Structure 1
Amino acid sequence: MSDNIELSIVLGMLGIFSIAGSIGNALVLYIYSRKRDITTSSLFILTLAGTDFITSILIIPYNITVLHLNYRLQYELACKVYMFLITCNVPFSAFIMVAIAFDRFFCICHPFLHAITIPRAKIIVLTMGLFACLLGIITSMCYGIVPFIDSTDVNSTVNGVSNASLEITATVNYSITNAVKMAPGNNTASNELAGMCFPSNDIFDISFTNIYQKIYAGCYLLSFLIVFVLYGLIYRSIHIRRAQKARRKRASLFPSSPTEYSGAETQLTILNGNDNDSNEPEQRKFRKKTIGIKEKVLYANIRTAAMLFIVTIVFLFAFLPAWLMAHDLMTYNMVVFYMYFIYNVANPVIYAFMNNSFREDLKMLYKRIFQIM
């Protein structure tokens, strides 16, 4: 497949992602923002939807423009803004996934701790957003517009900053790097890079860039490991509770010592007094109702955890090929590389399939729209 055909496919694919992601995430923002009882999971979903909406309506079109121009942005500010935008959104989404995993862990495994409340969740989101912005700012400082490159500069760029930059952003245009590698010592080919947004060591030296790119790349891997450990603990907790519930059910159906059970019940009746005999059915009903409410809350948390786990899995595996290509662990393919933007489109589809209330809200919204039309 020629480079022009591959580029056309990528541009068309990104255009579809932009339109679908903007519409889908706008619906998620509208529906979840109108809910009366905002929970921590709803807050994180709103944050994800906001991030995906900004990515779909701003970052993807910006990326389409940059790819169409072959990174010839001409202006320093346009270059740095681009690198900032494509760098900060991915780690921010990864951090949100980690926060969601911790939230589901505490809700299911330690429901009485109330470790993550709404105010704390807002602080967590703000802190992670600021850290992601810091990563974006540092990356933008590692890039600049190329004024002129001679043969010496080309070799140093390829052997130093360029290779590191692939791991920093996972979105470097491979055609630029390959063009430089194919023409060492060719001043004409080097001058053709003028005006391009390209790795630069004007602000940070190569040693700092190498350290930073390892930290940036490690954020994805660390998030991946934390999320899988937490969801593994959640699964273990659910499995233990189901086993305990099954044992209790078997014990109630087949008591090991009916005589002891009857005797204990008789002693309890004597201690409580005859006046409580009439209240015993009401107390049993109250206990059953309380247990029923707790089980409903637990099952609701488990369903939410399952839905958000699928969201996390889609994110991790959508971004994995680009991450592997950036580390030269997988052969580069431009179409597969930019498929990671599909994550920004997938979330509304996941909510629609796995969240009954979201589906009902969507149906009501469609009915209102059709009534107005």
Structure 2
Amino acid sequence: MDNASDSDALLVNLNAEKADLMTPVIVFLAVLMCAGLVGNVFVVIYYGFRARKSTHSLFICTVAIYDLISCGISIPFEIVDLRLFITFEDSTACKVLRFVNHFAAIGSICILLEIAIDRFRRICRPVQKQLNHQQAKLACGLSVVVSVVYSWPTFVFYTSVPVDVRSKNGQTVTGHDCTTTKEKEYSVYLLVFNFFYMASFVVVAVILCVLYSLVGRMLVKHNHKMTAAKPTSEGIETSLTDDTTAKTKQTEKVTSNTGDKPTQQANHKTTHLDRTTVKFTMIMLVITVVFVISFLPFLALLLWRVAKGGYIVDALSDSGLVAFQFGLRSYFLNSALNPFTYGFFNSRFRDFLYTMVCVCRRKTSGINDKTIGSLERMLTDMTATNSDF
């Protein structure tokens, strides 16, 4: 009985040491969680309720929902996992944690791929039939199905694994870690599972690179044409739009007066639509690049851990273990940084945030209803325009 009590006390002490060692990782995750929760809530409000209905607002809102799942469920679970570094004994909680992590990440990948395809079709194939709002909803629903299909093996391969932990004085106790199973009969399947994940990631990354390369090339060519065109020239103009249906306008303009008002309005509208297209494409390109970069360390370390085998903590120094834990959670960067990307490229989203903050501050400060009503009307007018950018 005394031996059991001594072992339990030693295990608790060893776990406390590991948890303290993981403090930098926990702080890092806590910062990402707070930033991601606040930022993505505003993204959902703006693109889900304030912005006009379009395919791109629906896609951005869906990505933000996946990011909210990561920041609101996955990251808190990960912090708990780090605090219970060698005392995580609940296998069911472990399986649910890993499933949610995979589900949110894969869902985001699916939406980013769908957005890239939509961008390619609208910009490089503007005269073809485009994705409408209803089809975009179906595409977002398909991402949920794909995420579940890709994520369900986590219920098989992840569990609370018994591990032997050695103290500094050489005494060994048995703890539990939430990780992939170490049973030999699953080793081959686990290797295939992780290799399939890596292969899928590489294929999707290549597709994204190719599609955005073609889109970027087309935008550069179009920009050159717009720059070379003269207001008085006679020709055909094609407007690249972000509406729920593709709108390709062919306008033959024959003018003799450069001050003709309808011609100036048409040119302004075309330039405006092109600017909107470029901005949205740039937003999704940056988000895609950040996603790929943030996901690479996680996948690489995952494969290395499977190939290495055994209890990985024994093979690493304290600093190496901290770096390893950072790398395993690198993909959370994407979920927290996305709202900042929207804010950097989208001036209307920045204005929306500023107005929302002002409204909240006025209400908490007890400013009169007239002032609050004026700010709220300003917010409504700002987000009721034809462009979200």
1:299 equivalenced with 2:275 (yes/no): yes
Separation in 2, partners of 1:72, 1:132 = 29
User: Shift of residue 281 of structure 1?
Assistant: 7.2
Q: Aligned pair 1:317/2:293, yes or no?
A: yes
Q: How far, CA to CA, are the matches of 1:334 and 1:36 in structure 2?
A: 41
Q: Percent identity?
A: 23
Cα displacement string for residues 93-118 of structure 1 (whole angstroms, at most 9, x for unaligned residues): 12221111112222222233342221
State the superposition RMSD in angstroms.
3.4
Q: Is residue 345 from structure 1 mapped to residue 336 from structure 2 by the alignment? A: yes
8 Å CA contact retained: 1:143, 1:199: yes
Looking at structure 1, the residues matched to 95 and 19 of structure 2 have their Cα atoms a distance apart, in angstroms, of 26
- Superposed, 1:149-188 pairs within 5 Å as none
1:52–1:345 CA contact under 8 A, matched in 2: yes
* CA gap 1:38/1:71 in 2 versus in 1, 3 angstroms: farther
Paired residue for 1:199? Answer: 180
The equivalent residue for 2:70 is: 55
**Distance of 2:47 and 2:179 partners within structure 1:** 40
The aligned residue for residue 152 of structure 2 is 137
* Structure number with bigger Rg: 1
How far did 1:11 drift?
Answer: 1.0
Deviation at 1:213, TM superposition (A): 1.9
User: Greater share of helix residues, 1 or 2?
Assistant: 1
Query: Where does residue 202 of structure 2 map in the other structure?
Result: 221
Whole-angstrom distance in 1 between the partners of 2:343 and 2:181: 44
Structure 2 match to 1:167? none
Does structure 2 retain, via aligned residues, the 8 Å contact 1:88–1:132? Answer: yes
Q: TM-score, normalised by structure 2?
A: 0.70
Please state how far the C-alpha of 1:42 moved relative to its aligned partner.
Answer: 0.7
Q: Structure 1 residues 27 and 251 mapped into 2: Cα distance closer, same or farther (>3 Å)?
A: closer
AA of the residue aligned to 1:298 = D
Following superposition, which runs of at least 4 residues in structure 1 exceed 6 angstroms of deviation? 201-204, 279-282
For the pair 1:106 / 2:121, whether they are aligned, the reply is: yes
For 2:354, the equivalent position in structure 1 comes to: 363
Q: Does 1:89 align with 2:107?
A: no
Q: Distance in 1 between matches of 2:290 and 2:179?
A: 30
Displacement, 1:367? 1.9
Q: Which runs of 5+ in 1 are unaligned?
A: 149-175, 254-276
Q: Summarize deviations over 1:6-47 as a string: whole Å, max 9, x none.
A: 411111111121112111111111122222521111111101
Residues 252 and 119 of structure 1: is their aligned pair in 2 closer, same or farther, counting only changes over 3 Å? closer
What is the match of residue 324 of structure 2? Answer: 334
The question of whether the paired residues in 2 share the 8 Å contact of 1:322 and 1:340 is answered with: yes
1:141–1:203 Cα contact (<8 Å) kept? no
Number of matched pairs: 311
Deviation, 1:339, is: 3.5
- Cα distance change on mapping 1:227 and 1:322 into 2, 3 Å: same
In the alignment, which residue of structure 1 is the partner of 2:382? none
Identify which range, 202-211 or 295-304, moves more after superposition. 202-211
1:245 to partner: Cα distance = 3.3
Whether contact under 8 Å (2:232, 2:257) holds in the other structure is: no
1:95 aligned counterpart, secondary structure? helix
